[in-house]
Structure 1
Amino acid sequence: MPAAAIPGTTLFDGVQARKGYALNKMCFSFNSAENRAAFRADEEAYMRRYGVTGPQADAIRDRDVLGLLAAGGNVYYLAKFAGILGLDVQDLGAAQTGMTKAEFKAMLVRANEQQEA
């Protein structure tokens, strides 16, 4: 049974996992400082090493995190790529929701306060 659509969200399912395999494998490699340095030194060669091409490679070049999600990227693996760019998970959440980082953080605080009440 297909999952229900969530407006504005790319659902990470089996189809997306297969589509994003090369991208996610590359992003997982960024757990190693040596691999992060290799990527920074020659992004194109590093993407070729993992078979990252087409829309995924374009999104990497454009630093388009939402495009990477649409191209099969898993947010947990993309967090490794975002770290190379100096972004954190709150930056990614803000991008996904169309908010600024400050707005996203304030929304998280409000949600936490409501849960505690």
Structure 2
Amino acid sequence: MTDIHEYLAEFDDIPGTRVYTAARARQGYHLNQFAMSLMKEENRKRFHADEKAYLDEWPITDEQKQAVLDRDYNRLLDLGGNIYFLSKVFSSDGLSFVQAVSTMTGMSVEDYQAMMMAGGRPAPGNRSIKDKN
């Protein structure tokens, strides 16, 4: 039988993908609760009035706070954020899902949309980080 930690570690070998594991869920619990708080208009107003002060009300790490302030969505995923919860952050900034996710790829919105309409990332070269070495 394969060790569960070895099995889960294999997910980290998928380029550009962060699999939302139980460990990430635990790490990002409060970060995701913060993001969900933005579903309420009064919380969005408080957040945008003073983002740092609002973030300081949550038991999240300084690294998570900085990633929110930087709107570094890839880093937020690394720190336990769930993309569906984080969508509340970029929606509160007036960004669509496509606009926000395109920033995570380093592509323009138009290029990202074209790639997705063409079927997404091509499989060759995108299956394993190890295989790129």
- Name the aligned partner's letter for residue 66 of structure 2: D
> Secondary structure, in 3 states, of the residue corresponding to 1:111?
coil
Q: 1:103 is matched with which residue?
A: 111
Q: 1:89 is matched with which residue?
A: 97
Q: 1:31 is matched with which residue?
A: 39
CA-atom RMSD in angstroms: 1.7
Q: 2:69 is matched with which residue?
A: 61
Larger CA Rg, structure 1 vs 2? 2
More helix by share: 1
Give distance in 2, aligned partners of 1:7 and 1:40. 33
How much has 1:92 moved relative to structure 2? 3.0
Give distance in 1, aligned partners of 2:51 and 2:93. 13
Q: 2:128 is matched with which residue?
A: none
1:31-77 CA deviation, whole Å, 9 max, x = no partner? 11111001112212211222123210111121211111111110001
How many residue pairs match? The answer is 112
Q: TM-score, normalised by structure 2?
A: 0.75
> Secondary structure, in 3 states, of the residue corresponding to 2:86?
helix
Q: 2:82 is matched with which residue?
A: 74
1:84-115 CA deviation, whole Å, 9 max, x = no partner? 22222112332333322111111222229xxx
How much has 1:18 moved relative to structure 2? 0.7
Unaligned runs of 5+ in 1: 113-117
Unaligned runs of 5+ in 2: 1-6, 121-133
Give distance in 1, aligned partners of 2:62 and 2:24. 15
> Secondary structure, in 3 states, of the residue corresponding to 2:23?
helix
1:14 is aligned to 2:22: yes
- Name the aligned partner's letter for residue 115 of structure 2: M
